[in-house]
Amino acid sequence: MAILADSNTRLIVQGITGGEGSFHTQQMVEYAPETIVGGVTPGKGGEWVHGKPVFDTVEAAVDATGANASVIFVPGRFAADAIYEAVDAGIGLIVCITEHIPVHDMMRVYDYIKDTDSRLVGPNCPGLLTPGQAKIGIMPGYIATPGYVGVVSKSGTLTYEVVYALTNEGMGQTTCIGIGGDPIIGTNFVDVLQMFEDDPQTEKVVLIGEIGGRAEVDAADFIKANMTKPVAAFIAGKSAPEGTRMGHAGAIVEGGEGTAAEKIEALEEAGVRVASNPEEIPALLK
Amino acid sequence: MNLHEYQSKLRFAEYGIPILRGKTATTPDAAYEIANELGGTVVVKAQVLVGGRGKAGGVKLAKSADEAKQHAEAILGMNIKGLTVRRVLIDPAADIAKEIYLGITNDRAAGRAVMMASSEGGVEIEVVARENPQALIRVHIDPFLGLRDYQARTLAIGIGLPREHWRAFGKIAHSLYECYVGNDALLAEINPLVITGDNELLALDGKMSIDDNALDRHPDIAEMRDTDAEAAAETEARKAGLSYVKLDGQIGCMVNGAGLAMATMDITKLYGGDEVGPANFLDIGGGAKAETVAAALRIILADPNVKSVLFNIFGGITRGDEVARGILQALDEVKTDVPMVIRLVGTNAEEGRAIIDSANIANLSSAASLTEAAKKAVELAKGAM
């Protein structure tokens, strides 16, 4: 068992012929060849990339391959359109890696998708990895190993750091998922925590958050009220000054809200063990 | 990207929001001319991208053109919270009967735009939200339908606005929404929105923040960026496609990914204690090429406080070999004795480590874990102090 993606996933890559799309398609194909069924780049239909067929539209790709998931690598200003196309083609799981998507585009996407059967993960996220079964996005495959820990994070590379530390300590993972660091994202901490709570194979959960917004406080409320599985956490940005955006569009402390301190307090209050160094996480789960 | 008051108000006016027809000046003489032309009492306002101008003496009333010139002389060149005032706005003085607040921003939890109004205008809205939350009326806006008429009424009624003003308030609310959407704003606020002695509504002060990710569809706004308002290194970083924020510490950090960059800062602080800490936040982004890495290193080393440099690269989109080549390329251009610690993990990390090792650079050492790398960088910084 795992959440969102496993060996039965049939994935297409939107933007498969671009530099990053092609590079990461290769990595995904090497990791789990059977799960990648094709790709889409308008105008490049009929070509092949890393042994996978390219289509002009998502609809054509779905018709030909029975795809049920899509990963998006197209540039920021075309990304919203790529998400709409995937939703309209009936794709169930849409993972958007693209960063720098305008907030107004995402507000419309968020509204459009909520009344459909599609789930969006991201944007501006590393995607997800179900070790040994499926890799959707850009997480390096070798850092993870199958096991019983579920990992959910706002970050990209910080997630790798923690997953790598878990693997080195012999603690494998069910699924590792990066939900993205933008202000408006398709899947939030609470959605994923519920999935891990419901997944019989996941025994423990790691949550990696950062400054800005109140998603971690909402997660703490959810954990307190609904979770039976132990959770460990790390919150990045303790040393960040107020009023300055730390890279991610969402990572900013405004009007004294969204500080690392208030998030850590809320999580500890909910019984979560919070690490001061991400490499301490495995020890906190033992 | 934040707009100045005068830039924000000109945008508001384009969408039909009533503003005062003042002008800006960069010299006291020009301020005199404008005040003379406007006649009567005027307000001289510092145009600077920071709150609290009034308290700092950056906003002054002038009864004559001579007085306006004197105030402009005092305000131009003034330092307000680290920023130098280079321009003043000369507006006719308004006859204010009542001040209210009207603003719009994106509510990340709701995934929608939220328009907010308060009967307490002229004060920071965060203060109202914290101290008197029920005074802040909010409506969430459907992005496909836009602001509904009843929502504008809900705001007007909620803040106790007299019936005679609902129509004018509604028009302003609709215009502000259109302005917010049309300019890809993250924030558009009128504070205060005033009711004048003549019972007219008027946007007296305004603030807009534009989404950097949408600037390519607003080239006219991109040109308005005031680079005086940011550190020179931040301007250079932006041009190189980097995200950089200068901090007060001694350890220069170059990291890929915003979350990991923050965690790396936090951990240097954790091991450095009160003595040493992070000199900057720097995210080289996903897929950073050699030239980008070289630019990043130049920016870090340009900071005289930097006593050691910590590279923490965990490859996903970013490839370790490219980062390694970038570091070597940069070290070719920027000769430095500053000790450096590098940690490479992830995609093509082995190739990257091989490239670094074969270069044999005396002041460059490597580390296997983040903890080890941070401890090393802390020790090196302390040793150089």
> So what's the ipTM on this one?
0.90
* Whether B259 and B278 share a structural domain: yes
* Whether B207 and B237 share a structural domain: no
The answer as to whether B7 is a domain residue is no
SS3 state at B249: coil
CB-based contact, B128 to chain A, within 8 Å: no
| Chain A CA closest to residue B184 | A104
Q: Check: CATH 3.40.50.720 for A11-121?
A: yes
pLDDT score recorded for residue B11: 97
Helical segments of chain A, H only = 19-31, 58-65, 76-88, 103-113, 157-168, 189-198, 215-226, 260-269, 281-285
* Whether B45 and B158 share a structural domain: no
* Whether B251 and B336 share a structural domain: yes
Q: Pick the last residue of a domain from B222, B253, B276.
A: B222
Residues of B involved in catalysis: 101, 189
Q: Which of B231, B99, B129, B112 is nearest to B177 (CA)?
A: B112
Q: Pick the last residue of a domain from B161, B192, B222.
A: B222
Q: Do A104 and B287 touch (CB under 8 A)?
A: no
The answer as to whether B304 is a domain residue is yes
In the predicted model, residues of chain B with pLDDT beneath 50 are: none
Q: How many CB pairs under 8 A join A and B?
A: 178
- With beta carbons under 8 A apart, name residues in chain A contacting B256: 157
In the predicted model, residues of chain A with pLDDT beneath 50 are: none
pLDDT score recorded for residue B329: 84
The answer as to whether B308 is a domain residue is yes
Q: What DSSP designation does A5 have?
A: -
* Whether B193 and B158 share a structural domain: yes
* Whether B134 and B68 share a structural domain: no
Distance from CA of A80 to the nearest CA of B (A): 13
Helical segments of A169-214, H only = 189-198
pTM: 0.92
* Whether B217 and B316 share a structural domain: no
Which residues 205-264 of A have a C-beta within 8 angstroms of B? Answer: 208, 210-211, 213-215, 218, 234, 236-241, 244-251, 254-256, 260
Q: Pick the last residue of a domain from B92, B120, B151.
A: B92
* Whether B103 and B73 share a structural domain: no
Query: For the domain bounded by A139-285, which CATH number is listed?
Result: 3.40.50.261
Q: Which residue has the tokens 């929608």?
A: B112
Which sequence spans correspond to the domains of chain A?
A: 11-121, 139-285
* Whether B73 and B156 share a structural domain: no
Half-sphere exposure of B8 (CA within 13 A, CB side): 26
Average pLDDT for chain A: 95
pLDDT score recorded for residue B321: 86
Domain containing B294 — which CATH number? 3.40.50.261
How many other CB atoms are there within 10 angstroms of residue A233's CB atom?
Answer: 26
* Whether B71 and B103 share a structural domain: no
B interface test, pick of A31, A101, A107, A276 with most B CB neighbours within 10 Å: A107
Asked whether B137 and B177 are in contact (CB, 8 A), the reply is: no
Considering only CB atoms, B184 lies closest to which of A104, A156, A240, namely: A104
pLDDT score recorded for residue A69: 98
Number of domains chain B contains: 3
- Residue B357 contacts by C-beta under 8 Å, 6 or more apart in sequence? B366
Domain containing B144 — which CATH number? 3.30.470.20
* Whether B279 and B377 share a structural domain: yes
* Whether B88 and B101 share a structural domain: no
Domain enclosing residue B27, as ranges: 21-92
pLDDT score recorded for residue B150: 98
Domain containing B61 — which CATH number? 3.30.1490.20
**A114 to A95, A152, A155, B208, B292: CA distances (angstroms):** 15, 21, 23, 29, 38
